[in-house]
Structure 1
Amino acid sequence: QHAAKVFNADKTYFVLNGTSSSNKVVLNALLTPGDLVLFDRNNHKSNHHGALLQAGATPVYLETARNPYGFIGGIDAHCFEESYLRERISEVAPQRARDARPFRLAVIQLGTYDGTIYNARQVVDTIGHLCDYILFDSAWVGYEQFIPMMADCSPLLLDLNENDPGILVTQSVHKQQAGFSQTSQIHKKDRHIKGQPRYVPHKRMNT
């Protein structure tokens, strides 16, 4: 409860074996075979394992930038356009292309290994209405909400309403937050959609 209060989450779960395990917990709690998942190409392999191999979800990929030296950049701007995303959906699940909210989950690498960090408000405002939930994999960040100039980068500081997606954030305590063991945490911020069919209850996260 104290961690949730500090990080401005509704609930916080502590997980051993790193954020690879946290990601798999979240992905297996939310996704089932046939669900559409909006998938950042920069995602860590644990997200591939959890969403695509274990849960059996169908991906729609967000293309990303890399330069000739292998440095990882951000998601290409056109990938945030609704018309583009609906075209990609029509290629893999035509029957879902006109759904009001076609994606069960979007998985975004909030901070890349090479330091690209997204404006969380902008991400939610552009694709949030298409998603039940957004998972921000924050293994390489987690400090942004404590730095005033980075406040817009924190999904947990967003003011959300019943039309917004639920927010899940995974963080590597052992990387950026000086943990003493390979510890991770899952922050859940979805009180604003409680009572809706898309809401994920505590029991599903804690079994």
Structure 2
Amino acid sequence: KFAAKVFNADKTYFVLNGTSAANKVVSNALLTRGDLVLFDRNNHKSNHHGALIQAGATPVYLEASRNPFGFIGGIDDHCFDEHYLRNLIREVAPEKADAPRPFRLAVIQLGTYDGTVYNARQVVDKIGGLCDYILFDSAWVGYEQFIPMMADCSPLLLELNENDPGIFVTQSVHKQQAGFSQTSQIHKKDNHLRGQARFCPHKRLNT
């Protein structure tokens, strides 16, 4: 409860075996075969394992830029366009292309290994209406909400209402914070979804 209060989450879970395990916990709590997942190409392989292999969800990929030196950049801007995303859905699951919220989950690498950090407010504003939940993999950051100039990068500082997606944030405590080897945490921010069919209850993460 104290960790959740510090990070402005509704609930926080402590996880062993690193954020690789934390990502799989979230993916398997939310996804099942036949679900659509909006998938950042920069995602850590644990998200591939959890969302695509273990849960069996169908991906719609977000393209990422890469410079001539091989450094991976951010998601291309056109990938956040609703019309573009719905056309991609028509290629893999045409029956869901016109659904109000076609994606059960979007998985975004909030901070990449190469140093790209997203503006969480912009991400939620652009794709939040298409997703039940967004998982921000924050393994390489986790400190953004404590630095005023990075406040917009923190999904946990967002003011959310019943029309917004639920938010999960996974953090590698052992990397950028103070923790033992392979300690991680999952922050859940979705009280604004209580009473809706898309809400993910506590027991799905703690069984």
**TM-score, normalisation: structure 1:** 0.99
Classify the secondary structure of the residue corresponding to 2:14: strand
Distance, in Å, in 1 between the alignment partners of 2:3 and 2:84 is: 38
**C-alpha root-mean-square deviation of aligned residues, in Å?**
0.5
- Residue type at the aligned position of 2:199: Y
Letter in 2 for 1:102: P
Residue 103 of structure 2 corresponds to: 103
Q: Give 5+ residue unaligned stretches, structure 2.
A: none
Once the two structures are superposed, the pairs formed by residues 1-207 of structure 1 within 5 Å of their partners are 1-207=1-207
User: How many angstroms does 1:178 deviate by?
Assistant: 2.6
Amino acid at match of 2:133: Y
Count of aligned positions: 207
Distance 1:45 1:182 in 2: 16
Query: How far apart in 2 are the matches of 1:63 and 1:172?
Result: 25
CA distance in 2, matches of 1:94, 1:151: 38
Divergent runs of 4+, >2 A: none
Cα deviation code 1:96-151 (max 9, x no counterpart): 00000000000000000011000000000000000000000000000000000000
Structure 1 residue ranges without an equivalent (≥5): none
Question: In 1, distance between residues paired with 2:49 and 2:69?
Answer: 26
Q: Amino acid of the residue matched to residue 104 of structure 2?
A: R
Q: Output the amino acid matched with 1:44.
A: H
1:51-104 CA distances to partner (integer Å, 9 max, x unpaired)?
Answer: 000000000000001112221100000000000000000000000000000000
CA distance in 1, matches of 2:67, 2:150: 25
Q: Provide the TM-score with structure 2 as the length reference.
A: 0.99
Identity %: 84
SS of structure 1 residue aligned to 2:90: helix
